[in-house]
Structure 1
């Protein structure tokens, strides 16, 4: 049974409009809650306006207060930019505020925007090792009623019992991101579900098949493999309109403007500093609208979602508001998706009617 969620990643190019875009986000969260969207995923990006609310931890508290049913997930919290104990406390508080409606999605941090690390005074070369150490600390914090000590490369800690204790036991629901095949297979060997970045349906099918096979080779039984696939999510940019032509007229320019804006920012830093974090020899799938954008009528979008369902994955993270797309256009797309696409797969909107 395929599940659907919304990735709220709102662009704000004009600092004078930040407050308006943030207000739009709260309205979008309320709409998603009303329509029965399962999860509202929040991103974390700093300094460039690519994510208007910037701090997903603070913003998650506002969303939880403004909604009743929808889960709030992180896709992802950039762990390498946080002190792990502070982040563990914050996530535990959110878990209590939402009474279990929080999904703690963790990742090392951006692989593209070096200025995020520079702004926080953290060497970007340390991102992966900081993430790995921090994740272990957070799990200890949530599950050590008598406190714990930690001696590591980046933190030396003597921690009393964490308060508030998590509402969800033994700890808030945790999921990790995997942007590469290697990352997905690493989580498969650990028997863990994952969040997958934007890829074509063909790549998704191939990667998920390999993920399941690798998990089986690592000794996990068929039931565990099926559960992990069901708890995993793949990300797609989605625009729904009355006709295919209208959806593409709206979606393609917004998608291309979004990608060009991000590319320009990365190239600006490279021109100024000569630093590039990730060299790409071929254009990645995320920048090709044929591979990374699903735009069409409800019937067309449903057919694409059926292809995703056939891969065995449990959920789709739909990014509806793309780049400079107006909030009302995105809201119309969300409503059309939840009223005419989602019901073809499951009783997704039932929760909204209760």
Structure 2
């Protein structure tokens, strides 16, 4: 990674968290439209999640969604955030992601985790206590398959006999793979052991923010112990985000769906439910806790700088969009991010500012007027001589 600790890649992540009561067909089209818009605006990555219950997160197969949107995008990389490994035969999932990599001409990213919703595991007859062990087992097999190995391995939940992928990934030398992390060391341990990237979700929340102090050092230690190499440019941080032209406007925007989505999140994650009696108080509480970023482009820039200071540097920041606000307001937030936040960290604004100052601080106008005056005088003299 370069000397700068700040990210130069930016993405958008949608679990997605949608309000209930809207046609899922319409919501899917909106999710695809966000990815298409992000591609046009210069975002580097888009991520879609996998969930099977709860109602608010309706995408059961991110690969299908990403394959669909790959036809209408050109540059943006398309990631699963995340595939829940205990729910899939590792050979079949590896095969699907390799196919997606070919369909996108190398734009696929595989993100994986143990699975978040216990209700998903219940429906599939999976003991939640086994999910992290199963994730590690499957992740090891998937990486071996992606790297061209033939795998024979039997566990209590899959049985592979001389399994080898028919296709190698389109991406050379290998498909981009990342593991999800929040607060526990399991994410960085897995990243280091397998030599892959990592995406820290909810990175701005108090507990996750504190864990960032040690996560990369854990990953580096595990990588060294297993003969792997890892790079901070493959470390992604994500936070629930909404920005607008002013902080007051951003908070007002979020009164649309904040209460419904926040109460849902309190049921599926360790965060406590809000005890505030009004929506404004709930939003204020969430902002003060660091659980969400609701503000302006300047607020976003400040958070990214804080995250860089906390981590020592990372490669990508991924903004998590939710139905805290309307579809139109989400699109405007995406525009503001592209207009002000991305160019700030990609170094695109500084030379423009420097050129503007250079022009304003010099007497170019005086010199221009003098040149015009001299040309006029010369013309008059030549006209007189000609007569």
Quick check: 1:101 aligned with 2:107? Answer: yes
Please name the residue that 1:299 is paired with: 298
CA shift digits 1:8-66 (9 cap, x unpaired): 23334446600000011111111000001111011111122222332112111112122
Q: 1:217 to 1:292 in 2, by over 3 A?
A: same
The correspondence for 2:119, drawn from 96, 108, 115, is: 115
Please name the residue that 2:260 is paired with: 257
Q: 1:343 to 1:182 in 2, by over 3 A?
A: same
CA shift digits 1:133-159 (9 cap, x unpaired): 2112222322336x4322233222114
Please name the residue that 2:10 is paired with: 4
The correspondence for 1:42, drawn from 35, 45, 48, is: 48
Q: Give the superposed CA RMSD.
A: 3.0
Quick check: 1:248 aligned with 2:251? Answer: yes
Please name the residue that 1:77 is paired with: 83
**DSSP-derived class of the 2:139 partner:** helix
Please name the residue that 2:340 is paired with: 340
**Which sections of structure 2, spanning at least 5 residues, go unmatched?**
1-5, 275-284, 350-387
Please name the residue that 1:275 is paired with: none
Contact 1:11 1:49 in 2 (8 A): no
Deviates more, 1:334-343 or 1:206-215: 206-215
The correspondence for 1:131, drawn from 128, 135, 138, is: 135
State how far apart, in whole Å, the 1-side matches of 2:256 and 2:19 are.
16
Contact 2:265 2:271 in 1 (8 A): no
The correspondence for 2:239, drawn from 223, 236, 240, is: 236
How many residues are aligned here?
A: 328
Deviates more, 1:95-104 or 1:209-218: 209-218
Contact 1:72 1:101 in 2 (8 A): yes
Question: For 1:264-279, what aligned pairs fall within 5 Å after superposition?
Answer: none
State how far apart, in whole Å, the 1-side matches of 2:164 and 2:188 are.
34
State how far apart, in whole Å, the 1-side matches of 2:177 and 2:332 are.
31
Deviates more, 1:246-255 or 1:236-245: 246-255
Quick check: 1:182 aligned with 2:185? Answer: yes
State how far apart, in whole Å, the 2-side matches of 1:22 and 1:119 are.
23
Question: Greater relative contact order (Cα 8 A, min sep 6): structure 1 or 2?
Answer: 1
CA shift digits 1:268-295 (9 cap, x unpaired): xxxxxxxxxx8x59679xx933212112
User: What's the offset of the Cα at 1:118?
Assistant: 2.4
**DSSP-derived class of the 1:330 partner:** helix
Quick check: 1:154 aligned with 2:183? Answer: no
**DSSP-derived class of the 2:99 partner:** helix
Q: 1:293 to 1:38 in 2, by over 3 A?
A: same
Q: 1:165 to 1:186 in 2, by over 3 A?
A: closer
Question: For 1:187-198, what aligned pairs fall within 5 Å after superposition?
Answer: 187=190, 190=193, 192-198=196-202
User: What's the offset of the Cα at 1:245?
Assistant: 0.8
Deviates more, 1:58-67 or 1:159-168: 159-168
**DSSP-derived class of the 1:54 partner:** coil
User: What's the offset of the Cα at 1:259?
Assistant: 1.6
Contact 2:182 2:200 in 1 (8 A): yes
TM-score by length of 2: 0.75
The correspondence for 1:52, drawn from 58, 79, 82, is: 58
State how far apart, in whole Å, the 2-side matches of 1:181 and 1:261 are.
22
CA shift digits 1:58-111 (9 cap, x unpaired): 11111212211000112211111111111011001001111111111111111x
Please name the residue that 2:365 is paired with: none
CA shift digits 1:271-323 (9 cap, x unpaired): xxxxxxx8x59679xx9332121122222322222222333122211012x23
State how far apart, in whole Å, the 2-side matches of 1:22 and 1:281 are.
27
